[in-house]
Amino acid sequence: MRTNPLNPTNPKSPPYTSLVAVGDSFTEGMSDLLPDGSYRGWADLLAARMAARAPGFRYANLAVRGKLIGQIVDEQVDTAAAMRADVVTLVGGLNDTLRPKCDMGRVRGLLEEAVERLAPSCGQLVLMRSPGRQGPVLERFRPRMEELFACVDELAARHGALVVDLYGAPSLSDPRQWDVDRLHLTAEGHRRVAEAVWQTLGHEPEDPDWRTPPPTAAPPAWVARRAADVRFARQHLLPWVGRRLTGRSSGDGRPAKRPELLPYEGPAA
């Protein structure tokens, strides 16, 4: 990770006063489910911390589940750039790598376009190497993911962006940090991501050990594991494959989570 030249913990430097989050389901907050049926997620948790230190803090979250990098560029990037926020987070491209067919050259080009438009418009652009759990479902896509992350590193170096390395964090490859769909983080996983971004922005750690996995627990019995695999395949994997094959998305017709840059008082408990 690079070190932020503006350290908000330094009393001579003002805290960040606005945050805009750009991306897909990871940034929308799935599967950190609240009692009212909405999703919280790492970006909301980060905004709450920042708001506690900056009166009048404003926050927008333009993320929509299922979006490909081309849709993020077309639907979110210009809106985010126009907000002129202190901090913009951009996480995108992973959904493209999970498609049966993926033109990685096009993905890299679109990500570069997004960075080139966002970096000059904000005080600090933050990119991420997304987390990836262990398991056979994502293993076949891992070379594409790592190609995407190499592009992230190169763009960050060229445009002065910060990079949060979630992919290299042992805690976030632990299956216990992932929801039953095996594609989205649990509430605890999102908390750890918020901590990672918080530290990358230069704040003093609230959880210095966010990279450390929880204590090892006894693995479930073979029968329980197989039953969980069957439920996962029926409830999540097959519908996901069906959407990939037909070009549909879980975010079709869904509006942005928080489309305007407005004062933020923090997520629900």
Ordered strands of the 258-263 beta sheet = 162-165, 124-129, 87-90, 18-22, 58-61, 258-263
For the full predicted model, state whether its pTM sits above 0.85. Answer: no
Q: Write down the pLDDT at residue 148.
A: 97
197, 89 Cβ separation under 8 angstroms: yes
Mean pLDDT of the chain: 85
Beta bridge partners of 128: 164
pLDDT in tens, 219-250: 666 555 465 444 544 554 555 455 555 565 55
For the chain, domain boundaries: 18-263
For 18-263, CATH gives 3.40.50.1110
Res 164 pLDDT > 60: yes
214 — pLDDT class (breaks 50, 70, 90): confident
Q: Write down the pLDDT at residue 33.
A: 87
pLDDT in tens, 143-160: 999 999 999 999 999 999
Q: Write down the pLDDT at residue 178.
A: 86
Q: Write down the pLDDT at residue 100.
A: 84
Res 36 pLDDT > 60: yes
pLDDT over 70 for what percent of the chain?
77
Distance, CA of 114 to CA of 49 (rounded, Å): 26
